[in-house]
Structure 1
Amino acid sequence: MPRFFWIIMALIGGGLILLVTSGDRGTTLGIESDAFARTLYLGIWGVVLGASIFATRVPLGDVARNLAIWLFIILLLVAGYQYRYELQDVASRITAGIVPGSPLSVGADGQTVRLDMGMDGHFAARAEVDGATILFLVDTGATTTVLNARDAAAVGIDVDGLSYSIPVSTANGMARAARASVDEIRLAGIVRRGMTVLVAAPGSLDRSLLGMNFLGSLSGFDVRGDVMILRD
């Protein structure tokens, strides 16, 4: 068999003999036995790897370059895993800047949500209502959450079958609305089920309003400059 094989076997055998004969002393050749065993293990693998590289006769420059590339990839993966939550936060902030009203969950529990002020000076909230994505205008002056006719139809409400008999005040003046209900409103990690909403008559409301029946169900919310924080 090749001489290299017997060299490796001699190293393994010699190392094992030293570990066994060290007994209960806890050290081998003045080194802690655990550290000696790890060093022996890594050394053997280093010898095997080095011999394999030389056996392929690949230029050392190419070997060094490939090792550097793999080392960089490994370090990048480790760094990505260690900073995964921070990277998620950065990605959410970028999304919030690109897509108006995108909520940003603050904290691992998802029960604190951040909304950034839009270019128009208002706070918007992109929420899921019965599976449909609705862009709400956050309106602390609205007693009830109001859906415009277009968003109500997207949610699955029969807009044509409603009776618009409830007067409501909008930015365009007084309008008529109908009472309805939705199974779920989900804003990031904040979820409310079985909520009553109003549906504005077709053509009377441009944007749906996230009102106080949702905001008032939270433990608190406040505005800090151009940021609104919602706490479940």
Structure 2
Amino acid sequence: MTRLTIVLGILAVGLVFLILNHDSGRTFGIMNDDFGRLVTLGAIATMFATGIVQSRRHNIGETLRQFGVWVLIILVLVSAYLYRTDLQSFGNRLVAGLIPGRAAVFTDNEGIQEVVLHKVLNGHFETPVTVNGETVQMLVDTGASRVALSYEDAQTLGLNPAGLAFTQRVSTANGEARAAPITLAEVAIGPIVRNNIQAMVTEEGKLDQSLLGMSFLSTLDFLQMQTDELRLRD
């Protein structure tokens, strides 16, 4: 059995145990992070021991060089696991910056999740919002008292706007319009989910884009708007 096979076997077994015990946070009574370090030390010790054995048959310089390379590889792999949360947050922030409008989700040390939006090219905050299990693009509007759906989006969501009663008058970017009050069973943006949200559907052609209004936003624990960034916290 080669040295590579032994080391990869140790790492593979350690990784399997970490994955199986991820939710519990402990493996064989040891915190997962500590167990990960233990697996690393075990792999390094194995590399060192097999290196000593092989050095008796091969050039010591070549053995040390290979040993150093594998130690570096092991450290990189284990570090990636130990700092996986930080790397995931960095990746989410990077993608959110490169793709404006994509909701990036971050989790702090206390397990609290925060949704971060970046402005799109038109200078507004827009993001996909899940309504009753279907996704529609919405503009975040703190000036709107309720979630407002365009006639077209209401059709997409299967709300049958033709059968609604348009009894309310509202002001839109396209002038005054009539709207039908409705209650949405579920509205979600990232991990933030709300049920029974008061909303309205506007007449056909009166609203260019659906609005994520205060009937949803006011339920949040935290909402902070910066120059190019909007933070939402459940």
Category of TM-score, reference length = shorter chain:
0.5 to 0.7
Residue type of the alignment partner of 2:70: W
Matches within 5 A, 1:184-203: 184-203=186-205
Matches within 5 A, 1:1-232: 46=48, 48-51=50-53, 67-108=67-108, 109-232=111-234
Q: CA deviation at 1:229?
A: 2.2
Q: Distance in 2 between matches of 1:220 and 1:44?
A: 50
Kindly tell me the number of residue pairs found equivalent between the two proteins.
189
Ranges in structure 2 where 5+ consecutive residues have no aligned partner? 1-43
Checking the alignment, whether the CA contact within 8 Å between 1:144 and 1:212 is kept in structure 2 is yes
Checking the alignment, whether the CA contact within 8 Å between 1:101 and 1:135 is kept in structure 2 is no
Residue 112 and residue 44 in structure 1: after superposition, are their counterparts in 2 closer, same or farther (change >3 A)?
Answer: closer
TM-score, normalised via structure 2 length: 0.67
Q: Distance in 1 between matches of 2:81 and 2:126?
A: 32
Say which SS state the counterpart of residue 200 (structure 2) adopts.
Answer: strand
Q: Distance in 2 between matches of 1:172 and 1:143?
A: 17
Q: Distance in 1 between matches of 2:175 and 2:64?
A: 73
Q: Distance in 2 between matches of 1:223 and 1:115?
A: 9
Q: Distance in 2 between matches of 1:44 and 1:89?
A: 33
Q: Distance in 1 between matches of 2:218 and 2:48?
A: 64
Q: Distance in 2 between matches of 1:200 and 1:79?
A: 52
Residue type of the alignment partner of 1:199: V
Checking the alignment, whether the CA contact within 8 Å between 1:179 and 1:196 is kept in structure 2 is yes
Say which SS state the counterpart of residue 153 (structure 2) adopts.
Answer: helix
Q: Distance in 1 between matches of 2:46 and 2:217?
A: 64
Residue 218 and residue 62 in structure 1: after superposition, are their counterparts in 2 closer, same or farther (change >3 A)?
Answer: same
Q: Distance in 2 between matches of 1:44 and 1:229?
A: 47
Say which SS state the counterpart of residue 219 (structure 2) adopts.
Answer: coil
Say which SS state the counterpart of residue 101 (structure 2) adopts.
Answer: coil
Q: CA deviation at 1:195?
A: 1.0
Q: Distance in 2 between matches of 1:230 and 1:222?
A: 7
Residue type of the alignment partner of 2:194: R
Q: CA deviation at 1:181?
A: 2.1
TM-score, normalised via structure 1 length: 0.68
Q: Distance in 2 between matches of 1:183 and 1:43?
A: 57
Residue type of the alignment partner of 1:159: P
Larger radius of gyration: 1
Q: CA deviation at 1:110?
A: 4.2
Q: Distance in 2 between matches of 1:85 and 1:119?
A: 30
Q: What's the CA shift string for 1:152-199, capped at 9, x where partnerless? A: 233231223223332221111112222222221112232111112111
Q: CA deviation at 1:97?
A: 2.6
